[in-house]
Copies of this chain bind each other. A is one copy, B any other.
């Protein structure tokens, strides 16, 4: 099988908006950058272990200078997102004199956890050009266009919104989940950030596609799909269709597998089973059947495929994890280790000049800053706008990645009706509506309030939501959510906050897409004394793990250079 075809399928699952964040790395691969990342650096530092896989990361240490001479350099880090903070934290281990400049008034970048009292600021009117109409039909059947309000025309206009969540409520508006294998967990351990499970998939949550008349529980949809697949394959086997491929003994093994996998029994016919769930649960009496499953043709027309495989992805498989109390626990811990005195928020770089003896960064409203090195941990499309003497190739490379849209809305409810009435404890309802996913909170079960992520959408759907004012996003979220949950979705709502990442000042994108590989390897190397860091330089785009891996790479390279150059 052609790998390109396989990747094209992966990309397709991305483009329909299922698990888009998880698929960004796959898209990166699909775009053809495989193999173009630079090879392993010749590494003068001792490594531990690592018989297979990449050499393990060894952080810079003060003793490196004791042994080799030289001294830690002064480094300006641009951007206090995950990559920038991680660079400053890691360099700080060896005594580097780091200063982090952050244009926003808060650290964390896209790892933005919102709580009561926070203000969400959006750029108004800037990114609405391509979005109008992409949202499709109005969720409640009204005939108006998707975005009826006209955002302010000025690119500089800002829309400020106060978050009014109650105590204890938080909204991970950016990254929200961590896979077991990701380096992010190592930072949680190192930084003492406690973890809990993020329920990325819940058999009791729902699926709703445009091919369905009503939502069904994920377990029911899955049982029906597996049931019919098993029936079809078992009957084909029974009819001799696999005789050329499988021995009789292997056919028997296959039938045995399918009997259980599809609950089809010896008759090899799917008529439903306990895995679908019950009409009324077993207890004093036996559970009652949920009813007959839909016919095969109906199941096929539901378009369930990618909703059922979302949690099979390497980046999405259960269990996943989140820091207790909000994802920003990680960036707050990093910032704490770096030290508040080294982080200057509200400070935008306006010019970068690299030279043989150092680097100079001009800033808004202050004297230029000088250092030995600079790490630009900014989104490439933002960095591309900052005047700098990095050369035309670098400028062109920075302008290559395309910022992508993604959006979420946090719906704070005063009553956890999804637990009380739906018996859904965390997890996600998957839809092919423009809201994408609905997430139920994976924490503080059984407490009074709770925050539901009413949409998490990407691609054209997110572009459409970018163009809407907050109240329209909310209106659509509630209208579509009510298709799943009925009237309760509108009751007990206390506050709602939406974030459109293309409209976040100084970030202006959820993540990036590389339309061509041109320039990637160039930016994985320093331009003079300026290094680049971020998830966008890795195969883990849209994941904090990408930012952290990139930071480790940059720190390693920079430290080696300092040790070599003395």
> Residue of B at shortest CB range from A420?
B189
Residues in B whose Cβ lies below 8 Å from that of A181 = 204, 281, 423
Min CB distance A225 to B, Å, is 7
A10 in the interface (beta carbon within 8 A): yes
* Contact, CB under 8 Å: B539 / A254: no
Given contact pairs A265-B2, A267-B2, A446-B188, A284 touches B538 in the complex (Cβ within 8 A): yes
A454 in the interface (beta carbon within 8 A): no
| Bound Cα distance from A1 to B230, whole angstroms | 14
Which one of A183, A232, A549 has the greatest number of beta carbons of chain B within 10 Å?
A232
* Contact, CB under 8 Å: A35 / B267: no
Min CB distance A280 to B, Å, is 4
Residues in B whose Cβ lies below 8 Å from that of A189 = 446
* Contact, CB under 8 Å: A259 / B9: yes
A391 in the interface (beta carbon within 8 A): no
CB contact between A274 and one of B10, B223, B273, B550 (< 8 Å): that residue? B10
Residues in B whose Cβ lies below 8 Å from that of A203 = 312, 317-318
* Contact, CB under 8 Å: A425 / B283: no
* Contact, CB under 8 Å: B53 / A282: no
* Contact, CB under 8 Å: B180 / A274: no
* Contact, CB under 8 Å: A274 / B313: yes
> Residue of B at shortest CB range from A189?
B446
Q: How many copies does the complex hold?
A: 2
A260 in the interface (beta carbon within 8 A): yes
Residues in B whose Cβ lies below 8 Å from that of A538 = 282-284
A563 in the interface (beta carbon within 8 A): no
A94 in the interface (beta carbon within 8 A): no
Given contact pairs A259-B9, A261-B309, A312-B222, A425 touches B37 in the complex (Cβ within 8 A): no
Number of interface residues of A (CB under 8 A): 115
Residues in B whose Cβ lies below 8 Å from that of A26 = 274
A356 in the interface (beta carbon within 8 A): no
A109 in the interface (beta carbon within 8 A): no
> Residue of B at shortest CB range from A6?
B265
Min CB distance A56 to B, Å, is 11
A545 in the interface (beta carbon within 8 A): yes
Near B by CB (< 8 A), chain A positions 229-280 give: 229, 232-233, 235-237, 239, 241-242, 245-247, 250, 253-254, 256-261, 263-267, 269, 271, 273-275, 277-280
Residues in B whose Cβ lies below 8 Å from that of A35 = 286
* Contact, CB under 8 Å: A319 / B427: yes
Binds B, one of A112-120, A194-202, A474-482: A194-202
Given contact pairs A1-B271, A445-B321, A283 touches B242 in the complex (Cβ within 8 A): no
CB contact between A233 and one of B199, B232, B318, B553 (< 8 Å): that residue? B232
A431 in the interface (beta carbon within 8 A): no
Residues in B whose Cβ lies below 8 Å from that of A6 = 263, 265, 273
| Bound Cα distance from A33 to B285, whole angstroms | 10
A301 in the interface (beta carbon within 8 A): yes
Q: Mark A1-36, 1 if CB is under 8 A from B, else 0.
A: 110011001100100000000000110010001110
Would you list the 6 A-B pairs with minimal beta carbon distance, nearest first?
Answer: A203-B317, A197-B197, A53-B280, A1-B267, A282-B539, A241-B241
**Apart from A197-B442, A229-B257, what are 20 other A-B pairs with CB-CB below 8 Å?**
A1-B266, A9-B263, A10-B274, A29-B286, A37-B286, A53-B280, A53-B281, A195-B445, A202-B319, A223-B312, A229-B261, A232-B233, A232-B236, A241-B241, A256-B305, A257-B300, A257-B304, A274-B313, A277-B314, A284-B538
5 contacts between A and B (CB under 8 A): A6-B265, A188-B446, A229-B258, A257-B300, A282-B540
